Amino acid sequence: MKFYSHGKVLLTAEYAVLEGVKALSLPTKKGQSLTVEYNKNKTIEWQSYTDQNELWIDLTFDIAFNCIAINKTSPEHLASVQVFLRTINELVPGFYRDGLTLTTSLEFPRDWGLGSSSTLINNLAQWLKINPYILLEKTMGGSGYDIAAAQNNSPISYERNGYTPKVTPVAFSPAFKEQLFFVHLNQKQNSRAAISNYQKQGIIHTTIKDRLTAIGTEIAQTNNLAHFCSLLKEHEEITASFLNQTPVQQRLFSDFDGQIKSLGAWGGDFVLAAGNDPIKAYFQAKGFKTVIPYTDFILG
């Protein structure tokens, strides 16, 4: 049995999506697959491969979920896999039958932040026919927008609502796609640490939530690049104010002729760059080699 889920980009309402603000999320062309095979070994074997087909997790458990063989796996990832297995067994007792082999394969580099965990959770939920938002809550936590993106082939709006969020397809296909690029900042951001820091800042005021929702709606509808850039800038300024952080364009790219927006957890992973200049050349000259056109990156 084989299952597949798409990666994700969060275009609007980062952090605020946790408090129910409507977010605009874009599924990516690259994702992750899960292959499930049953065996008679009375063991559970878990192997994970990178986008370069390199084995980075290689574990064997007995059916009490005790690790009996470990190879190429950090203690952190061993602990994460055990949490997944034990949580799944709470939801679907005896899911492993007499023995099981699980193999995951990423299509994107692990440090890209496109959702190695969310795509895994969605794949596991597809296989076991369980609610992925329950599995998310009991393991990694978070808003769940990445689960929704994993399940869709086009842009969506997402509103958090327990285990039954509101997910709506969005006709986001701007006329200026050719002037949009995704730039990797050469570092991975820890989403859970970023969320923890955000939660220390206090609750976002209702007027700010309403404005972020409105900005997301306008971003999805506009076909004017200048208007799009002004909306991105306003969104960055609002988010910077409640995070008490400096926007990435001000910190790193103050001479860029256009607009840059952080995506998801601030401080790492990808940003969106919009403008009329030769964007790819600008960022590569500054040492940022992963600069991907919108149409090569996003589904729909």
CATH number at residue 143: 3.30.230.10
Residues 160 and 214 in one domain: no
Six-digit token string for 220 = 């999805």
Q: Tens digit of pLDDT per residue, the chain (300 long)?
A: 999 999 999 999 999 999 999 999 999 999 999 999 999 999 999 999 999 999 999 999 999 999 999 998 999 999 999 999 999 999 999 999 999 999 999 999 999 999 999 999 999 999 999 999 999 999 999 999 999 999 999 999 999 999 999 999 999 999 999 999 999 998 765 556 656 666 656 567 789 999 999 999 999 999 999 999 999 999 999 999 988 889 999 999 999 999 999 998 887 689 999 998 799 999 999 999 999 999 999 998
Q: Give 181's strand partners.
A: 273, 293
Question: If DSSP codes are grouped into helix, strand and coil, which group holds residue 175?
Answer: coil
CATH code, domain carrying 188: 3.30.70.890
Is 157 strand, coil or helix?
strand
**142 plus 255 within the same structural domain:** no
Domain finish residue from 105, 137, 169: 169
Return the bridge partners of 184, or none: 270
Number of domains observed in the structure of the chain:
2
What global pTM score does this model have? 0.93
Same domain? For 122 and 191 the reply is: no
9, 127: one domain: yes
CA dihedral of 146, 152, 153, 155, whole degrees rounded to 10: -60
The DSSP letter of residue 221 is H
Name the domain boundary from 169, 203, 232.
169
Structure tokens at 99: 């023995």
Task: Provide the domain limits for residue 184.
Answer: 177-297
Q: How many CB atoms lie within 10 A of CB 143?
A: 26
Q: Looking at the structure, do residues 113 and 142 belong to the same domain, yes or no?
A: yes
Q: Residue for token digits 């296909």?
A: 173
Residues 6 and 150 in one domain: yes
Domain closes at, from 150, 169, 188: 169
